[in-house]
Structure 1
Amino acid sequence: MTVIDVWAQHPTLRFLQQDMLASLRRWVGEQIPTEEPSPELTVAAMDAGGVDRALLSAWYGPEGPLISNDEVAAVVATAPERFAGVASVDVRQPMAAVRELRRAVNELGFKALRIVPWLWGLPPNDRRYYPLYAECVELGIPFCTQVGHTGPLRTSETGRPIPYLDDVALEFPELTIVAGHIGYPWTTEMIAVATKYPNVHIDTSAYTVRRYPTELVNYLRSHGRHKVLFGTNYPMITAEKALTELASLELDEETTRLFLGGNAQRVFQL
């Protein structure tokens, strides 16, 4: 059964050293390394968790790229059968952002765009995102984002599914959206949005199986079996840890296949 991690990062040192991630490091008990992590470390973590392929995301924020698109591309090139790239851009410069997205997809072969709204303090229905949504539709790639509260000590307001993501899905019906981090404490809102719009999906990154909200598990077992994708948010959580209690979800074989990899293959055209 193919396992695809739809939200992972191969971290740079400057990403790991960011003060805003201190709360996450405290939760997971990790120390900052002294050398740039090697791609082999990420592959080893994938192997330990049974992950066949991981989508590695760039990280762009107001202070600049914490993980640049070119850095992601360099890691993907070391193991293209195991990795795929997800672009990020500076939303404050709309035309430059659109051109960079085109480059990432057309030249680097990236599979999606990811913007983390709390980094910018701008909810997904802000006008600065809209040129990027149009370009995602033209390029035929998903837009990935974060929903729910923030682990870092930043405002959680930008992660509310309603009204922000609801507005985007309404105004861009051709846009495929993957909302990462489940949406807690607004999980029911996120499920409502995913149910309402054919092209909206949820990924489970940043949560281990044992922490999935009951509402999400019920959705996954029923009419949401084609809408929920597995993710980790590696290196914050490894696949091995995230999937430890997978059997407790009591999913049938087909739902398990879709959740772990089938939905990701379809949504990201892998």
Structure 2
Amino acid sequence: MIIDFGATPPIKTLSLGDGSHLANYRRVYASSEKDAARGETTLEQWFANVDAAGIDLTVIKARDVETTFGGRVTNEAVAEVVAAHPGRFLGFAGVDPNKGMTAVRELEYAVRELGLKGLNLQCFENQLAIDDRRMYPLYAKCVELDIPVNIHVGVNFSLKSSPDFGRPEMLDRVLCDFPELRAIASPPGWPWVPELLAVAWRHPNLWIGLVAMRPKLMAVENSGYGPLMQYGRTVLKDRMIVGTAWPMQPMDRVLDEVRQLPIEDDIAARWLGGNARTFLQL
């Protein structure tokens, strides 16, 4: 089973809207986004490419950055897409930690009533550190609901937000306080990859999302991604999870680059689906 741990299909309700705070991402990913758009302009064409790539399940994520940047992909929109395409998608909720207890209640509603299966936190968009105390009620609610949380770790390319919001050592403090929290650091921490690997080695409840990156870079000397392959084929082989980040990258290229890495076939299979099944408790 192949699970894409992060993609945004061409559905209007899944678009963040203006997204002007992410304008620099368009510059950084301009080339790969152009490649990703090869004919994938309709949902039908997108599904055809998913099937051609052999992807069985795609994780889609809501986002709430209303208090900082005025944008939102609602939990209801994600739930509607999941319901409209049975077996195709698994949805994560998105709430704004700056909304306090309103966010906590929204998360509970999204899980208990809408059927979403996790929480997506893009802390740099909320202008909050991963270990900010305003995040803690949400982490506690994730433990209570027994759902995983996706946390953006690593540099962000928004010129409206500090890259320091993605430092792995802040995640370490959270996991020390919440040893029962099922978390994934996604993307995988660049340029602080060794620090993230150390955090994952310390905490068995942390997975690493190989998302929004070129997998081939793990085999390129001095790219900064090399340690992911070394540890991902050994002590952390059960905790690496691949996502295509479409439309940032063509989905078939991402999967092909994983398979072309100098890793064993069973390791690639874990990264492409087996580990996600464990993380998502499927």
Q: How does 1:187-198 map to 2 (within 5 A)?
A: 187-198=193-204
Q: How far has the Cα of 1:237 moved from its partner?
A: 1.9
Secondary structure, counterpart of 1:224 in structure 2? coil
Q: From 133, 140, 144, give the equivalent of 1:127.
A: 133
Give distance in 2, aligned partners of 1:240 and 1:17.
28
Indicate if the aligned counterparts of 1:7 and 1:232 stay in contact, CA closer than 8 A: yes
Q: How does 1:221-236 map to 2 (within 5 A)?
A: 221-236=233-248
Identity of aligned residues (%): 38
Does 1:161 pair with 2:133?
no
Residues 67 and 265 of structure 1, relative CA distance in 2, 3 Å threshold? same
Give the TM-score, by structure 2 length: 0.87
Secondary structure, counterpart of 1:181 in structure 2? strand
Secondary structure, counterpart of 1:21 in structure 2? helix
1:102-131 per-position Cα deviation (integer Å, ceiling 9, x unaligned): 111111211110110110111111011111
Counterpart residue number, 1:8: 7
Q: From 48, 57, 80, give the equivalent of 2:61.
A: 57
Let me know the Cα RMSD of the aligned residues: 2.0
Q: Quick one: which amino acid aligns to residue 12 of structure 1?
A: K
1:216-240 per-position Cα deviation (integer Å, ceiling 9, x unaligned): 0101111111111111222212321
Does 1:217 pair with 2:219?
no
Indicate if the aligned counterparts of 2:19 and 2:71 stay in contact, CA closer than 8 A: no
Number of residue pairs the alignment of both structures matches? 264
Give distance in 1, aligned partners of 2:3 and 2:261.
18
Q: Quick one: which amino acid aligns to residue 20 of structure 2?
A: D
Indicate if the aligned counterparts of 2:62 and 2:93 stay in contact, CA closer than 8 A: yes
Secondary structure, counterpart of 2:130 in structure 1? coil
Does 1:178 pair with 2:184?
yes
Give distance in 2, aligned partners of 1:138 and 1:21.
33
Give the TM-score, by structure 1 length: 0.91
Unaligned runs of 5+ in 1: none
Indicate if the aligned counterparts of 1:28 and 1:237 stay in contact, CA closer than 8 A: no
Q: Quick one: which amino acid aligns to residue 56 of structure 1?
A: I
Indicate if the aligned counterparts of 2:259 and 2:265 stay in contact, CA closer than 8 A: no
Secondary structure, counterpart of 1:249 in structure 2? coil
Indicate if the aligned counterparts of 1:45 and 1:238 stay in contact, CA closer than 8 A: no
Give distance in 2, aligned partners of 1:39 and 1:100.
28
Task: Find runs of 4+ consecutive structure 1 residues off by over 4 angstroms.
Answer: none
Give distance in 2, aligned partners of 1:40 and 1:64.
30
Residues 256 and 247 of structure 1, relative CA distance in 2, 3 Å threshold? closer
Q: From 254, 269, 274, give the equivalent of 1:257.
A: 269
Unaligned runs of 5+ in 2: 219-224
